[in-house]
Amino acid sequence: MQLFAIEKGLLAIIFGILGLTEISQERDIKGKGLAIAGIILGIAFIIIKIFIKGGFFLLNLY
């Protein structure tokens, strides 16, 4: 169901950072909160996916 889940999280982080740099360079662009939210959600998504994969690995171990 979650095809390329970690890659999507990495893309959210990358585009969030790109958005923040673009916003800091040009003052008339808005959306700093959305860029920060993208970074935070990307990190959270990767952490959750790692825990889910680790849990399935441990369940199959026993």
Q: Is the pLDDT of residue 60 over 80?
A: no
Query: What pTM was estimated for this model as a whole?
Result: 0.80
| pLDDT (tens digit per residue) in 11-41 | 999 999 999 999 999 989 999 999 999 999 9
What domain count does the chain have? 1
Structural tokens at position 10: 């990495």
Q: In terms of residue numbers, what domain contains 53?
A: 5-61
Using the CB atoms, write b or e for 10-30: b if 16+ within 10 Å.
eebbeebeebbeebeeeeeee
Look at residue 55 in the predicted model and tell me its pLDDT.
Answer: 78
In the chain, the percentage of residues whose pLDDT exceeds 90 is 60
Look at residue 41 in the predicted model and tell me its pLDDT.
Answer: 96
Q: Is the pLDDT of residue 62 over 80?
A: no
Say whether 28 sits in a helix, a strand or coil.
Answer: coil
